[in-house]
Chain A
């Protein structure tokens, strides 16, 4: 088998809670405590778990929004955890992140054009504004938005549309790895389905690799190739999607699957 695009080994991210100081002891929260996984080119790996299990911290550490305490993450042969912020900056084009809250993740003071043009100019992917506008228009259409929306501001859009804009901001850079942190959980049921379909479609068409972080087992089954189940900072089980959902080995995975309210019970 070829070398994976991303290979994470024994990743640990600890936070110190409370400022240690006079008469106070510093305590450590082990948000991520030694997890290993890999993602191949064009593959979707889901990280599933309940709130507080550390799954979001994994994504935030891989994008250097948090600092890793230990471990390695080889991306295309380079350890991205050892890079300084400045060294990591050019790599941000390849490693992009979709955020959960479509209301908080778009700067209210920037127009959609300003927002989408920013990464293009940072990474020198366009020469001038007209070229940027062309690319923005094409990307907006790719995510199912009208190209004219680039002249408007975030507050003019609904949650689903905002999340599409968030996805456009990611896809406009043609990244190689997308980290999607609960990308649909803030949306209404009917909008969730649209956005899940869109993410799946874009992933297929572009062949981008993806780390899909979610607590929603349905969404995970819909979108991923492989699944890693996380519990209290560690992975309890990793496997092919069908294996995880149909023949779960770990007791926690089984408990998780058993807890999903079923529709079919009554239908039968």
Chain B
């Protein structure tokens, strides 16, 4: 049984009197000790999916319109808020893009980590303090004994993200959801943070859902990848399968959009046009207005997810690669 199993998740956002779909029919599973990457551009629904898993959509304009989120065999969407709170932070934890705004600037980082521990574990403050120290060491903050009394603004961006990871790991979660954890960081720091996350995974055996717009980050870190476009998963496969046999024109377009650093390309294969806004309805396949392979049926019929090979799903009438 998968640790996290999401089936047909539907999310809608309230716009005036209308409910516009923002995530449609999203299904994926994450096994223990596995890393799933969700890649897509802004507004594709990848972050909303994460927030839905964490139960953080309450009070927002986004409603869960259907589907199930099974975690360790229990459907999180049917739990009471109280039961849910017990799971969150204890069994699963989340880290965000901006480590400055996720930390409270008026408390020392040690106190914040300790609070995170004490919310789910009963132990003395002394023990919690020692645990916080261990965690800072675990995320390789140099000189943790001194750093535990620092305020967030006294740390660099990379260090703050390490503190966030330490807080997330406070209760040995089974699942870590990381929403663009390295986007605000420099490449050299990004490399260190990603290496840290991989190392922690090997040590603790946790599963990770890594959300990113960067195919490079995904390819280096993840076992499986789900590519999202306009609220749907358009392609899903193991990382090696996906990169050796990309089938959806959007995935290919994303790859073609990234300028290489190890060879020269004259022109980038950019995807034309732009992502339609939420209130622009697109009949048929949502990607067809920008797709190089679009033909008649793409304009009218929304393609379902089909397997091009075992465990490689594509939502496209004319998947590339496999046929040629």
Contact = CB atoms under 8 A, between A and B. Distances in A.
Do A and B touch, yes or no (CB under 8 Å, in the complex)? Answer: yes
Interface of A: 50-51, 158, 160-161, 188-194, 196-197, 200, 215-219, 221-222, 241-242, 245, 255-267
B300 to A, nearest CB: 24
Contacts of A160: 274
B259 A188 contact: no
Interface stretch (B114-122, B143-151, B169-177, B237-245): B237-245
Interface in B244-258: 244, 253-258
B42 A188 contact: yes
Contact of A158 (B191, B214, B243, B274): B274
Given A221-B260, A221-B261, A266 B239 contact: yes
Interface residues of B, number: 41
B274 A193 contact: no
B268 A196 contact: yes
B216 A189 contact: no
A35 B256 CA distance: 35
23 contacts: A160-B274, A161-B274, A188-B213, A189-B213, A189-B258, A190-B275, A193-B256, A194-B270, A218-B259, A218-B260, A219-B259, A222-B265, A242-B264, A256-B187, A260-B261, A261-B190, A261-B216, A261-B217, A261-B219, A261-B220, A263-B219, A265-B219, A266-B243
A245 B262 CA distance: 7
Nearest to A192: B257
Interface string B272-298: 101101000000000000000000000
B188 interface: yes
Nearest to B213: A189
Candidate in B213, B267, B274, B275 with the most chain A CB atoms within 10 angstroms: B274
Contacts of A265: 219-220
B269 interface: yes
A159 B254 CA distance: 18
Given A50-B187, A190-B253, A221-B260, A261 B271 contact: no
